[in-house]
Structure formats: C-alpha cells, structure tokens
C-alpha cells in the first residue's frame, strides 16, 4: 500500500515560547494530541499482538517502533537495512544511534533466548561500523559479561542482492518474531508501513531472511570479529 506523503510539524507548539518543541518519542511532554494518539495506538498494537497496521510517517515514529520491537519480541528481531547509519534525508536524525533504540536493544540482549540478526545491504567501512554507537553499546555489554542473548551482523553478498532484486524485494524491513513487520516505503525519508498479527506475511519474510543469513552471507558474532564479503 502506498502511503500518502504529507508535511508534518516537527513538534508541538510551546504555549510559553510560541516555538516548536522538538518531538521526543520517549517523552510524553513533547507530544501533541495527534502524536499522543499515534504512540498510544502503536503501544497497544505492540503489546497486544492483535492484527492491525500503522503508518510510520516520520523518523520519530521509526525510532519508537524499532525500540518497541526490541521491547516486545519474544525471541528474535531481524533487520535488513542499507547501513546502520540511517539518517533522515532532511535532518541529522540517526535512527540506530538514538539512545532509546540502543537502550531497548541492550535490554533485549541481556535476556536469555533473545536473538538480534542484522543483514546490511551496502558496502561498509569497518572502522566506522565498529565505532557506531549501537555497536559500541553491544561491545560494552559483551565486555562486561552481561550478554545473555545473541547478536549477529552480516554484509549481504552480491548474489543475495541479485536474488532479492529478481524477486522484486527492494524494500528494507524489520521483523519482530513473526508477529510484526515494518516494511519501508521510502528509504530516504525513513517512512514505512507496519503490520501486526500472525497473518501479515511475516513468516514468509522471516524464512527468506534466515535463508539469506545462513546460506548467502558471511556472519560473525560480535565482538569476536567483524568481517564481510566484498
């Protein structure tokens, strides 16, 4: 489904300063009434597991939903993205460096039986990747002996990208177990369509992702070593 693009304000109008207050998806005091309805609806869908869908129209929505995937996943979170440095086109808003996303991932990996698998599409700079705030947090968790879950990251091979292109799978996506699927509709603006419930096609996407991770990509468990195919 193609989402309608529309211009939205950056935050709510502060009655004292008459200036826009930056929207913080983890601070209710910065929410407008419209955003409050959105975030509360998203929280209920994440919590209940009921069938439904929600639009991800701005980077703050992406941050809230991605953190929510880590908060509510029972076993696995799968991510296929271009790179970890995902910045919204018109603002310096780094999705995966957001502290709320990092905190949710770290809490997730502190638990037994949890697993986060990431496949990245684009060529990577090793030093830049190792120093990314999300990876630094994972390394510190492992170094401190608190890693109870599993964290894997891979660079997709050219054969993988060709395989996906031939099957018209060009979107980036994120899966919460097989009960929620975030499918990007505009990668530059970080917009997406998020569906909830077991009948949303997530099982098919999860099987595809796991096949790629095992058979098509070189993987490594952080922090032992990070390598990828060129």
65-122 pLDDT, tens digit per residue, is 999 999 999 999 999 988 887 655 545 668 899 999 999 999 999 999 999 998 888 7
Q: How does 104-140 read in b/e, with b if 16+ C-beta sit within 10 Å?
A: bbbebbeeeebebbbbbbeebeeeebeebebbebbbe
Domain covering 54-221 assigned CATH 1.10.3720.10 in the classification: no
Helices (H), 56-132: 59-72, 99-109, 126-130
Q: pLDDT, tens digit, for every residue of 166-203?
A: 776 767 899 999 999 999 887 666 788 999 987 667 88
User: Could you tell me the pTM of the whole model?
Assistant: 0.81
Q: Which residues contact 172 (CB under 8 A, 6 or more apart)?
A: 80, 81, 82, 121, 184, 187
In eight-state DSSP terms, residue 150 is E
């Amino acid at each position: 489904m193609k989402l309608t693009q529309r211009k939205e304000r950056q935050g709510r109008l502060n009655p004292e300063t008459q200036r826009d207050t930056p929207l913080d998806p983890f601070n209710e005091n910065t929410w407008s009434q419209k955003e409050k309805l959105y975030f509360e609806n998203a929280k209920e869908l994440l919590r209940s597991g009921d069938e439904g869908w929600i639009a991800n129209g701005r980077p703050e929505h992406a941050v809230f939903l991605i953190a929510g995937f880590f908060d509510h996943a029972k076993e696995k979170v799968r991510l296929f993205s271009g790179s970890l440095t995902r910045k919204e086109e018109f603002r310096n808003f780094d999705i995966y460096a957001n502290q709320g996303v990092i905190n949710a991932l770290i809490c997730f990996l502190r638990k037994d039986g949890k697993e986060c698998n990431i496949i990245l599409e684009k060529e990577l700079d090793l030093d830049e990747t190792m120093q990314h705030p999300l990876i630094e947090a994972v390394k510190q968790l492992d170094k401190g002996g608190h890693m109870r879950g599993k964290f894997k990251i891979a660079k997709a091979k050219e054969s993988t990208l060709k395989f996906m292109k031939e099957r018209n799978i060009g979107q980036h996506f994120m899966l919460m177990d097989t009960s929620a699927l975030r499918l990007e509709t505009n990668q530059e603006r970080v917009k997406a369509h998020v569906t909830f419930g077991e009948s949303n096609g997530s099982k098919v996407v999860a099987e595809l992702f796991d096949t790629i991770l095992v058979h098509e990509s070189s993987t490594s468990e952080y922090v032992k070593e990070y390598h990828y195919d060129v």
